[in-house]
Amino acid sequence: MKVIIHGITGKMGQTLYRAAQATPDIAVAAGVDKRIPEKDIGVPVYPGVGDVPFAADAVIDFSVREALPGLLESVTAKKLPLVVATTGLTDQDRHMIFQASEKIPVLQSANFSIGINLMYALARRAASALGDDWDIEIIEKHHNQKKDAPSGTAYALADAINAAFNGQKEYVFGRYSQDELRKPNEIGIHAIRGGTIAGEHTALFAGTDEVLTITHTAHSKTLFASGALTAARFLCDKEPGLYHMQDILGL
Protein backbone atom coordinates (compact mmCIF):
# COMPACT_ATOMS: atom_id res chain seq x y z
CA MET A 1 0.00 0.00 0.00
CA LYS A 2 1.40 3.38 -1.03
CA VAL A 3 0.57 6.49 1.00
CA ILE A 4 1.28 10.19 0.64
CA ILE A 5 2.06 12.06 3.86
CA HIS A 6 0.64 15.58 3.82
CA GLY A 7 2.75 17.66 6.24
CA ILE A 8 5.74 15.35 6.13
CA THR A 9 8.30 17.83 7.51
CA GLY A 10 6.34 18.49 10.71
CA LYS A 11 6.85 16.59 13.96
CA MET A 12 3.89 14.29 13.46
CA GLY A 13 4.66 13.95 9.75
CA GLN A 14 8.13 12.71 10.60
CA THR A 15 6.75 10.39 13.31
CA LEU A 16 4.30 8.98 10.77
CA TYR A 17 7.09 8.53 8.21
CA ARG A 18 9.19 6.52 10.68
CA ALA A 19 6.18 4.42 11.69
CA ALA A 20 5.39 3.67 8.04
CA GLN A 21 9.00 2.66 7.40
CA ALA A 22 8.67 0.10 10.19
CA THR A 23 5.41 -1.27 8.75
CA PRO A 24 6.04 -4.01 6.13
CA ASP A 25 2.81 -3.61 4.16
CA ILE A 26 2.97 0.20 3.80
CA ALA A 27 5.32 2.34 1.72
CA VAL A 28 5.53 6.13 1.68
CA ALA A 29 5.27 7.10 -1.98
CA ALA A 30 5.80 10.83 -1.45
CA GLY A 31 5.60 13.66 1.00
CA VAL A 32 3.76 16.95 0.62
CA ASP A 33 4.76 20.14 2.40
CA LYS A 34 5.00 23.85 1.66
CA ARG A 35 8.53 23.65 3.11
CA ILE A 36 10.57 21.60 0.67
CA PRO A 37 13.52 20.18 2.66
CA GLU A 38 16.99 21.08 1.44
CA LYS A 39 18.31 17.62 2.26
CA ASP A 40 17.06 14.28 0.96
CA ILE A 41 14.67 12.76 3.53
CA GLY A 42 14.24 9.45 1.72
CA VAL A 43 11.17 10.26 -0.39
CA PRO A 44 10.37 13.02 -2.88
CA VAL A 45 8.54 16.01 -1.40
CA TYR A 46 6.11 18.15 -3.42
CA PRO A 47 4.34 21.43 -2.57
CA GLY A 48 0.86 19.95 -3.10
CA VAL A 49 -0.91 16.62 -3.61
CA GLY A 50 -1.81 17.76 -7.11
CA ASP A 51 1.91 18.02 -7.90
CA VAL A 52 2.64 14.35 -7.11
CA PRO A 53 3.19 12.78 -10.57
CA PHE A 54 2.40 9.15 -9.68
CA ALA A 55 -0.40 7.11 -8.14
CA ALA A 56 -0.95 6.29 -4.48
CA ASP A 57 -3.56 4.46 -2.44
CA ALA A 58 -4.30 7.07 0.25
CA VAL A 59 -3.26 10.43 1.71
CA ILE A 60 -2.65 10.92 5.44
CA ASP A 61 -2.85 14.51 6.64
CA PHE A 62 -0.86 15.66 9.68
CA SER A 63 -0.46 19.35 8.82
CA VAL A 64 -2.30 22.56 9.73
CA ARG A 65 -5.96 23.43 9.28
CA GLU A 66 -5.12 26.33 6.96
CA ALA A 67 -3.93 23.80 4.37
CA LEU A 68 -7.19 21.85 4.43
CA PRO A 69 -9.10 23.58 1.57
CA GLY A 70 -6.31 23.01 -0.95
CA LEU A 71 -5.82 19.44 0.24
CA LEU A 72 -9.52 18.57 -0.10
CA GLU A 73 -9.60 20.03 -3.59
CA SER A 74 -6.60 17.93 -4.67
CA VAL A 75 -7.65 14.60 -3.18
CA THR A 76 -11.19 14.84 -4.57
CA ALA A 77 -9.79 15.64 -8.01
CA LYS A 78 -7.50 12.59 -7.83
CA LYS A 79 -10.13 10.37 -6.12
CA LEU A 80 -7.73 9.55 -3.28
CA PRO A 81 -8.95 8.25 0.10
CA LEU A 82 -8.04 10.72 2.84
CA VAL A 83 -7.18 10.34 6.52
CA VAL A 84 -7.51 13.72 8.30
CA ALA A 85 -5.44 13.74 11.49
CA THR A 86 -4.94 17.51 11.68
CA THR A 87 -6.44 19.04 14.83
CA GLY A 88 -7.97 22.42 15.70
CA LEU A 89 -10.65 22.15 13.00
CA THR A 90 -13.54 24.59 12.88
CA ASP A 91 -17.18 23.84 12.06
CA GLN A 92 -16.53 25.22 8.57
CA ASP A 93 -13.59 22.84 8.16
CA ARG A 94 -15.77 19.89 9.19
CA HIS A 95 -18.40 20.97 6.69
CA MET A 96 -15.79 21.00 3.92
CA ILE A 97 -14.66 17.51 4.98
CA PHE A 98 -18.26 16.29 4.85
CA GLN A 99 -18.68 17.71 1.34
CA ALA A 100 -15.48 15.95 0.21
CA SER A 101 -16.70 12.68 1.75
CA GLU A 102 -19.58 12.66 -0.73
CA LYS A 103 -16.98 12.08 -3.46
CA ILE A 104 -14.21 10.10 -1.72
CA PRO A 105 -13.81 8.02 1.45
CA VAL A 106 -12.61 10.25 4.32
CA LEU A 107 -11.75 9.23 7.87
CA GLN A 108 -11.46 12.14 10.28
CA SER A 109 -10.74 11.87 13.97
CA ALA A 110 -9.56 14.21 16.70
CA ASN A 111 -7.38 11.39 18.03
CA PHE A 112 -6.09 8.22 16.35
CA SER A 113 -5.38 6.31 19.54
CA ILE A 114 -7.32 3.06 19.80
CA GLY A 115 -7.59 3.54 23.57
CA ILE A 116 -8.97 7.09 23.42
CA ASN A 117 -11.65 6.05 20.94
CA LEU A 118 -12.70 3.27 23.28
CA MET A 119 -12.72 5.88 26.06
CA TYR A 120 -15.36 7.87 24.18
CA ALA A 121 -17.70 4.87 24.34
CA LEU A 122 -16.92 4.16 28.00
CA ALA A 123 -17.48 7.79 29.03
CA ARG A 124 -20.77 7.99 27.18
CA ARG A 125 -21.96 4.79 28.85
CA ALA A 126 -20.91 6.11 32.26
CA ALA A 127 -22.76 9.38 31.65
CA SER A 128 -25.89 7.51 30.61
CA ALA A 129 -25.77 5.33 33.73
CA LEU A 130 -24.98 8.13 36.21
CA GLY A 131 -27.32 10.77 34.82
CA ASP A 132 -27.78 14.38 35.91
CA ASP A 133 -26.96 13.79 39.58
CA TRP A 134 -23.23 13.62 38.85
CA ASP A 135 -21.09 16.62 37.86
CA ILE A 136 -18.84 16.09 34.85
CA GLU A 137 -15.45 17.68 34.21
CA ILE A 138 -12.89 17.01 31.48
CA ILE A 139 -9.18 17.68 32.02
CA GLU A 140 -6.65 17.43 29.19
CA LYS A 141 -2.86 17.74 29.38
CA HIS A 142 -0.43 18.26 26.50
CA HIS A 143 3.12 19.38 25.76
CA ASN A 144 4.04 23.06 25.72
CA GLN A 145 4.24 23.18 21.90
CA LYS A 146 0.56 22.41 21.29
CA LYS A 147 -1.23 25.50 20.04
CA ASP A 148 -4.95 24.68 20.14
CA ALA A 149 -6.70 24.48 23.50
CA PRO A 150 -8.76 22.71 24.56
CA SER A 151 -7.66 19.79 22.43
CA GLY A 152 -9.86 18.34 19.72
CA THR A 153 -9.92 15.14 21.74
CA ALA A 154 -11.35 17.00 24.75
CA TYR A 155 -14.13 18.39 22.55
CA ALA A 156 -14.80 14.93 21.11
CA LEU A 157 -14.92 13.44 24.61
CA ALA A 158 -17.35 16.16 25.72
CA ASP A 159 -19.52 15.49 22.65
CA ALA A 160 -19.55 11.75 23.38
CA ILE A 161 -20.68 12.42 26.95
CA ASN A 162 -23.19 15.07 25.87
CA ALA A 163 -24.77 12.61 23.45
CA ALA A 164 -26.02 10.70 26.50
CA PHE A 165 -27.95 13.86 27.45
CA ASN A 166 -29.27 14.56 23.93
CA GLY A 167 -26.87 17.50 23.61
CA GLN A 168 -28.39 19.44 26.52
CA LYS A 169 -25.16 20.00 28.46
CA GLU A 170 -23.35 23.37 28.26
CA TYR A 171 -19.56 23.49 27.87
CA VAL A 172 -17.74 25.79 30.30
CA PHE A 173 -14.04 26.47 29.76
CA GLY A 174 -11.71 27.01 32.71
CA ARG A 175 -14.12 29.08 34.84
CA TYR A 176 -11.56 31.87 35.21
CA SER A 177 -13.03 34.98 36.92
CA GLN A 178 -16.43 33.34 37.49
CA ASP A 179 -18.14 34.14 40.78
CA GLU A 180 -21.16 31.86 40.81
CA LEU A 181 -22.12 28.31 41.70
CA ARG A 182 -21.64 25.52 39.21
CA LYS A 183 -24.76 24.88 37.14
CA PRO A 184 -26.10 21.31 37.00
CA ASN A 185 -26.07 21.23 33.19
CA GLU A 186 -22.37 22.09 32.81
CA ILE A 187 -19.49 20.06 31.47
CA GLY A 188 -16.29 21.79 32.55
CA ILE A 189 -13.34 21.55 30.15
CA HIS A 190 -9.82 22.42 31.29
CA ALA A 191 -6.51 22.53 29.38
CA ILE A 192 -3.01 22.11 30.82
CA ARG A 193 0.16 22.75 28.78
CA GLY A 194 3.64 21.79 29.92
CA GLY A 195 6.84 19.91 29.19
CA THR A 196 6.70 17.00 26.76
CA ILE A 197 3.37 15.46 27.79
CA ALA A 198 2.26 13.48 24.75
CA GLY A 199 -1.37 13.59 25.83
CA GLU A 200 -3.58 12.77 28.80
CA HIS A 201 -7.36 13.01 28.96
CA THR A 202 -9.58 12.48 31.99
CA ALA A 203 -13.36 12.37 32.26
CA LEU A 204 -14.25 13.02 35.90
CA PHE A 205 -17.70 12.17 37.25
CA ALA A 206 -18.27 13.64 40.73
CA GLY A 207 -21.19 12.39 42.76
CA THR A 208 -22.11 12.60 46.43
CA ASP A 209 -19.21 11.17 48.46
CA GLU A 210 -17.65 9.43 45.45
CA VAL A 211 -15.73 10.21 42.28
CA LEU A 212 -15.30 8.14 39.12
CA THR A 213 -12.49 8.96 36.69
CA ILE A 214 -11.75 7.50 33.28
CA THR A 215 -8.26 8.43 32.11
CA HIS A 216 -6.25 7.73 28.98
CA THR A 217 -2.53 8.47 28.84
CA ALA A 218 -0.43 8.55 25.67
CA HIS A 219 3.26 7.90 26.30
CA SER A 220 4.48 8.84 22.82
CA LYS A 221 3.25 10.23 19.51
CA THR A 222 3.96 6.93 17.75
CA LEU A 223 0.60 5.49 18.77
CA PHE A 224 -1.19 8.28 16.85
CA ALA A 225 0.86 7.49 13.75
CA SER A 226 0.07 3.77 14.07
CA GLY A 227 -3.63 4.58 14.34
CA ALA A 228 -3.49 6.77 11.24
CA LEU A 229 -1.85 3.94 9.27
CA THR A 230 -4.60 1.58 10.46
CA ALA A 231 -7.15 4.14 9.26
CA ALA A 232 -5.50 4.34 5.84
CA ARG A 233 -5.70 0.54 5.47
CA PHE A 234 -9.36 0.65 6.51
CA LEU A 235 -10.24 3.24 3.84
CA CYS A 236 -8.68 1.50 0.86
CA ASP A 237 -11.71 -0.56 -0.17
CA LYS A 238 -14.41 1.78 1.12
CA GLU A 239 -17.06 3.66 -0.80
CA PRO A 240 -17.22 7.48 -0.54
CA GLY A 241 -18.41 8.53 2.89
CA LEU A 242 -17.32 9.98 6.22
CA TYR A 243 -15.78 7.43 8.56
CA HIS A 244 -14.42 7.54 12.10
CA MET A 245 -12.11 5.47 14.29
CA GLN A 246 -15.20 4.06 16.01
CA ASP A 247 -16.05 2.39 12.69
CA ILE A 248 -12.73 0.52 12.80
CA LEU A 249 -13.44 -0.59 16.37
CA GLY A 250 -17.01 -1.61 15.60
CA LEU A 251 -18.40 1.01 18.00
Marked catalytic residue, from 141, 142, 169, 201: 142
Catalytic residue among 34, 78, 143, 146: 146
CA–CA separation, 164 and 124 (whole Å): 6
Which of 114, 116, 118, 163 shows the shortest CA–CA distance to 136?
Answer: 163
**Amino acid at residue number 1:** M
Residue 169 among the catalytic residues: no
> 141 an active-site residue?
no
- 3-state secondary structure at position 153: helix
**Strand order across the 241-243 sheet:** 45-46, 27-32, 2-6, 58-61, 82-84, 105-108, 241-243
Kindly report the backbone phi and psi dihedral angles of residue 58, in degrees, each rounded to the nearest multiple of 5, phi listed first: -165, 160
- DSSP bridge pairs for 210: 207
Residue 82: count other Cβ atoms within 10 Å of its Cβ: 27
List of residues 6+ apart from 235 with CB closer than 8 A: 58, 81, 82, 83, 105, 106, 107, 243
Distances (CA, A) of 239 to 1, 59, 76, 226, 243: 17, 16, 13, 23, 10
Active site residues: 142, 146
